[in-house]
């Protein structure tokens, strides 16, 4: 971790301790979507021959322990305890009714044997790997068609050792899509809390085709030059709660998705009823985003109390002709931006397709987006909204949005193919957004 990232992370921890982090429980929360469960039955990874010396490969030990949990079928489930130490392992699968608990000082670390990493099929809503045709390398920790799973602990670490994968991408020698750090598929009733995630090979936490997922009190870390290390990507999923976390990575901190072009349209599972609250972090890309892979549709989204600094874009909503689907009923409120290149960007021209089979008549519908109570300092470009000529974005409303440049220059908004409203916006909003406004 870079020195600046360490300082940022420790500042985050100190701030929350000083404020009384436990007091956040009294704040508005969606964490009750999935109640935390106590497991009476506990086993330790050491009981299955694992050695936490950072050299011994413990893949078989993790697989045996989880196989044991699956077949014990204890009422109330079983907790797998990972004690202090560095536990090197290949990828492994979780099972239902289990808690993966990382003690203070425990690190589960991925092996770097990329040549023998297992392959899995592409996601049906993507039709291929996100960055390469064909299949995908299996995620480091997997959950498929399971329920009642908790990943938690005393701020232990899950380390993907992604550097070797980033180099394959940079050298253009990558054969298949890089592995995620954690992928949850077709699963429900999941809690992820009080764990540090670092150096993912690709996306960090990817709930896809899931229902009822709570992610809170986590830190997600990767260098700013690490490619595509998105923090949390809810994908064709619903009833998702993401709260009270710090994220500093090489790509979007939180990005809502629902499939890619004709594959996402065919699969037809939207992302909806997602809450993102009290997130802080930094990235060269976007703090919070929707899309661009939103072909299954995205609706009923709430993002609030977001703090983004030293980043490329604060709020980004992105799509493209050929995506189809829709993005609607989105509320974004209480956003603080500092030292951000582009404050708010809503873009209908991401120009990114999996293949040439997409339908050019599949035009996405973007409407009913409310962005309010946004404050930004040291913003290079306040905002832009670029709709789609054949289907302009409608109902895009800005309220109490103040975005200040470092030197006081008034840089106008740029808008095309959009309609909506603007109230109390500085600098002056584009004329396509009607309503009262202040002069920049």
Asked if the bond preceding 292 is cis, omega within 30° of 0, the reply is yes
Distance between CA atoms of residues 354 and 129, nearest Å: 9
Single out the catalytic residue among 230, 233, 244, 251: 251
Distance between CA atoms of residues 338 and 108, nearest Å: 34
Contact 376, 390 (CB under 8 A): no
CA 110 to chain centre: 20
Give strand pairing partners of 191: 150, 214
DSSP one-letter string for 33-57: GS-----SEEEEGGGGT---EEEEE
Contact 327, 303 (CB under 8 A): no
* Cβ burial 165-182 (10 Å sphere, 16+ → b, else e): bbebbeeeebebbbbbbb
Contact 188, 210 (CB under 8 A): yes
Residue 251 is among the residues annotated as catalytic for this protein? yes
Residues acting as catalytic residues? 251
């Amino acid at each position: 971790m870079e020195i600046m990232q360490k300082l940022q992370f420790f500042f985050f921890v100190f701030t929350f301790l000083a404020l009384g982090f436990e007091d956040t429980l009294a704040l508005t929360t969606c964490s009750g979507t999935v109640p935390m469960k106590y497991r009476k039955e506990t086993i330790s990874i050491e009981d299955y021959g694992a050695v936490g010396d950072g050299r011994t490969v413990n893949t078989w030990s993790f697989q045996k322990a989880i196989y044991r949990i699956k077949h014990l079928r204890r009422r109330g489930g079983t907790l797998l305890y990972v004690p202090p130490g560095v536990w090197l392992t290949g990828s492994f699968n979780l099972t239902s009714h289990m808690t993966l608990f990382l003690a203070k000082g425990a690190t589960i670390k991925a092996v770097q044997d990329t040549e023998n990493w297992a392959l899995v099929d592409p996601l049906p809503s993507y039709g291929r790997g996100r960055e390469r045709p064909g299949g995908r390398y299996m995620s480091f920790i997997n959950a498929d068609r399971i329920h009642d799973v908790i990943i938690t602990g005393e701020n232990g670490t899950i380390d993907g050792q992604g550097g070797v994968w980033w180099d394959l991408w940079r050298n253009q020698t990558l054969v298949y899509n890089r592995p995620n750090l954690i992928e949850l598929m077709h699963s429900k009733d999941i809690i992820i809390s009080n764990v540090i995630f670092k150096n993912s090979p690709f996306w960090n936490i990817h709930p896809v085709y899931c229902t009822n997922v709570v992610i809170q009190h986590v830190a997600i870390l990767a260098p700013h030059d690490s490619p595509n290390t998105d923090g949390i990507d809810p994908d064709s999923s619903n009833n998702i709660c993401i709260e009270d976390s710090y994220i500093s990575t090489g790509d979007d901190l939180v990005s809502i998705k629902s499939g890619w072009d004709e594959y996402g349209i065919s699969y037809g599972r939207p992302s909806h009823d997602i809450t993102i609250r009290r997130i802080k972090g930094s990235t060269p890309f976007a703090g919070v985003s929707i899309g661009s892979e939103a072909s299954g549709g995205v609706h009923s989204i709430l993002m609030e109390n977001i703090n983004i600094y030293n980043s490329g874009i604060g709020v980004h909503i992105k799509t493209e002709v050929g995506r189809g689907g829709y993005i609607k009923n989105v509320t974004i409120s209480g956003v603080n931006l500092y030292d951000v290149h582009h404050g708010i960007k809503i873009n209908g021209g991401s120009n990114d397709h999996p293949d040439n089979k997409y339908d050019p008549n599949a035009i996405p519908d973007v409407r009913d987006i409310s962005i309010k109570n946004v404050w930004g300092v040291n913003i290079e470009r306040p905002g832009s909204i670029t709709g789609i000529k054949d289907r302009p974005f409608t109902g895009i409303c800005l309220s109490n949005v103040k975005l200040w440049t470092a030197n006081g220059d008034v840089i106008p908004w740029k808008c095309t193919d959009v309609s909506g409203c603007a109230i109390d916006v500085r600098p002056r909003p584009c004329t396509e957004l009607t309503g009262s406004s202040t002069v920049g």
